[in-house]
Structure formats: C-alpha cells, structure tokens
Structure 1
Amino acid sequence: MTHGTTPRWRTSRHSSNGASCVEVLEADRATYLRDTKQHGQGPVVHLDGPAWSAFLDEVARDAPSANGAVEVTATAEGGRTVREASSGAELHFRADEWAAFRAGVLDGEFSPGAA
C-alpha cells in the first residue's frame, strides 16, 4: 500500500449515508470501486491511473464511456451500471447514488491524490 498508510474506502461527502453509495479506494497505484449496498461482499472494479483519470473525466462530463477499462451505461430508472471490461464485474447504482458520486467528482473529491 502507498506511503506506509492503510488506505480506506470512502464515499462522496454528497452521499446521504454510508449504506448506499459508490465507494472508492486508492491503493497500489490503482483505484477500486464497489457498492456499499454489498457490504464488502460484492464485486470490485479496478482502474489503473490513466483509466481512472479518463473515467473521472467521462463522469464529470456525463459522457459515454471511451476509456477502455470500464463501461458505464444508464439504467431505465436513471441509475448507472459500471462494468469492468477485463473481468466483467458489474456494479449497479441507483440514480441518487450516482448523482452523489458525480457531485463528488465535480468537486474534485476523487481526483488522484485527493484522499
């Protein structure tokens, strides 16, 4: 892990509670995403540095996925599905969860080194 500290999972300050959010961990020069609704038992999506930066840019612009590492698709209910290209791992977020995450992205909460 980086710099002798123990990394921890975190959510956006825009999330209303810690039980239904996009959760992010920066460790080993990579970033990991998971869904707090899975209580640490669900899939985890991995992005290396360049893919994470591209992903954040796409989320901020609400643009289609083009980073090659993950594909984000909108659900009929306004949420998002995040699918990792290499493993097929999928995360499913409700509209309010994704909106809180996106607000955090726009505020720079998840920029590299912002932890």
Structure 2
Amino acid sequence: MSTHGWRTSSFSSNGASCVEVLEADGATYLRDTKEHGEGAVLHLDGPAWSAFLDEVARDAPSANGAVDVTTRGDDGARAVQEHSSGAVLHFRDDEWVAFRRGVLAGEFGALGD
C-alpha cells in the first residue's frame, strides 16, 4: 500500500486531528491522524466503502460488512472497528463531524458509487 496520498476533509480545522483517507490498490483505507501514521489502518473494498459513505451521510447504523461505527458515551465520539482484524480507530465528535461534512460534500467519492 502506498503511503502517499492520505487526505482529510476540507472541513477539518487543522488537519492534525481527523479521519484520514487513502484510496490505493482498488481499496480505501482509514486511519487517525492523531496516531501519526503509527496506529491502526482499516481497509474497505469498493462496495463496503460505498456502503460506508452512505451510512455516514445518513448517520445510519453500520451494515457495510467491513466496519462498525459506534457512538461512545454522551460526547458524540465514535469508534470505528474493522471486522476482519478487530482494529479500532477512535474519533472525537468534532473529527467525525468534519469527516461527515466532507462525505456530504462528495470529497471522498460520490454517494452510491
């Protein structure tokens, strides 16, 4: 997997604490910028990524088959857990909201692709 091309939502305030996305090798990868490239990297194939984008846009329960998104506590923080590896990413509410705004703006692919 290439390490170049990671990007964040344009709605992320500083680019240092957010959901980071890489499209490579026919798949999409997610990581947390707070981990400085040392943390977990989650993998979604094309159909799972499209379903995930739709779920994020609709703020709907996870049914994409690759990752589960759960709300942690009352602060709106999210945990994203990959089914195959069990790896988990943790995002604060502001990080997730910025990512979702990017999804709604089409920054990570058109919904329904």
Q: Same fold (TM over 0.5)?
A: yes
Report the RMSD for the aligned CA atoms in angstroms: 1.5
- Name segments (4+ residues, structure 1) moved above 3 Å: none
Query: Structure 2 length normalisation: TM-score?
Result: 0.92
Q: Is the 8 A contact 1:7 1:26 kept in 2?
A: no
List alignment gaps of at least 5 residues for structure 2. Answer: none
Contact in 2 for aligned 1:47/1:69 (Cα 8 Å): yes
Of 52, 56, 60 in structure 1, the residue corresponding to residue 57 of structure 2 is: 60
Query: For this pair of structures, how many residues does the alignment match?
Result: 109
Q: SS of the counterpart of 1:52?
A: helix
The answer on 1:43 being equivalent to 2:26 is no
Q: Match for residue 108 of structure 1?
A: 106
- Identity over aligned pairs, percent: 76
* Residue 8 of structure 2: aligned partner: 11
**Offset, 1:88:** 0.3
- Aligned equivalents of 1:26, 1:79: Cα separation in 2: 24
CA distance in 1, matches of 2:45, 2:65: 11
The CA deviation at 1:93 is: 0.1
Find the aligned partners of 1:59 and 1:80 in 2 and give their Cα distance.
11
